[in-house]
Amino acid sequence: MEDAAPRYAVSAIALPQPDRRARFLKTVGWAVFCAALLGSWRGAEMRPLDLLNYAGNMRVFAEGFFPPDFSQWRLFLQEMLVTLQIALWGTALAVVAAVPFGVLSAENVVPWWVCQPVRRLMDSFRAINEMVFAMLFVVAVGLGPFAGVMALFVHTTGILAKLFSEAVEAVDPRPVEGIRATGAHPVQEVIFGVIPQVMPLWISFALYRFESNVRSATVVGLVGAGGIGMVLWEDIRGFNYSETAAVMILIVITVTLLDLASQRLRKLFT
């Protein structure tokens, strides 16, 4: 509106009036946010002073971590390898399952009465954290890495199916129509028209999930689903902090290296 003001002279140009409504809403927004923070103080049992009061204890606790004890490095490396293997299998199975589920939850490929139920199923896979699945699978298939694989598999299927279907919904419909016009079967339209278009994205998503699953696989061990997490849990429970420190350092190094490698690999495909 101010733009349209006539430009006779500088004195005729007025400063634009701030929008009162926007300012009011902004104030209300901040007020609500602050109220939520204050209201949650009790619930979250915030006791920042304890950090000062128990500083001595914490110093003793922190000292326990040093020096890190790598004397059991053979075991650590072996369990780290198991963790990577859990992540690899969990991701691979999830990719295999996410391809059909992803296509079946894409609006532009299947009718709503297929895509809506499949999407809700995938939502439920995603909604429940892999730790919860790990606890359930430990009960179902016993302690050990297989429970971890299954937990990652189910949760990652939910995530990848959603990402895959979003890629499918963004494809160019024209090549698909070109294939339909040759008299091809609808499944062949997907195989040759859709999948070549989404492949780079799908590979990139799968690698990214593998990366995240290595991180997740280090914690599913905490509930008995195998891998380095199990060692970590034993050490923390046994107050063996110098070994805990060694394991944590190993996890940081592994995850960092993998992130770097996977980033490089993903760049190749996009």
Q: How far is the CB of 144 from another protein (least distance, A)?
A: 37
| Rounded CA separation 268/159 (Å) | 23
DSSP string covering the chain: -GGGS--S-GGGPPPPPP-HHHHHHHHHHHHHHHHHHHHHHHHTT--HHHHHHTHHHHHHHHHTT-S---TTHHHHHHHHHHHHHHHHHHHHHHHHHHHHHHHHT-TTTS-HHHHHHHHHHHHHHHHS-HHHHHHHHHHHH-SSHHHHHHHHHHHHHHHHHHHHHHHHHTS-HHHHHHHHTTT--HHHIIIIIIHHHHHHHHHHHHHHHHHHHHHHHHHHGGGT--SHHHHHHHHHHTT-HHHHHHHHHHHHHHHHHHHHHHHHHHHHH-
Stretch that binds another protein, among 1-9, 52-60, 180-188, 238-246 (CB under 8 A): 180-188
Taking CB under 8 A as the criterion, the residue among 131, 143, 184, 249 binding another protein is 184
Q: How far is the CB of 186 from another protein (least distance, A)?
A: 9
Taking CB under 8 A as the criterion, the residue among 144, 148, 193, 226 binding another protein is 193
User: Counting contacts by CB under 8 A, is residue 183 touching another protein?
Assistant: yes
Q: Is 148 exposed, middle or buried (0-12, 13-18, 19+ CB in 10 A)?
A: buried
Taking CB under 8 A as the criterion, the residue among 11, 17, 182, 270 binding another protein is 182
Stretch that binds another protein, among 41-49, 192-200, 222-230, 252-260 (CB under 8 A): 192-200
Q: How far is the CB of 111 from another protein (least distance, A)?
A: 15
User: Counting contacts by CB under 8 A, is residue 108 touching another protein?
Assistant: no
Q: 185 vs 264, which CB is nearer to another protein?
A: 185
Taking CB under 8 A as the criterion, the residue among 23, 26, 185, 264 binding another protein is 185
Q: How far is the CB of 268 from another protein (least distance, A)?
A: 15
Q: Considering CB under 8 A, how many residues would be counted as binding another protein?
A: 19
User: Counting contacts by CB under 8 A, is residue 203 touching another protein?
Assistant: no
Residues 148-177 contacting another protein, CB under 8 A:
174-175, 177
Q: How far is the CB of 26 from another protein (least distance, A)?
A: 39
Taking CB under 8 A as the criterion, the residue among 181, 239, 267, 270 binding another protein is 181
Note the residues at the interface with another protein (CB under 8 A).
174-175, 177-185, 187-188, 191-193, 196-197, 199
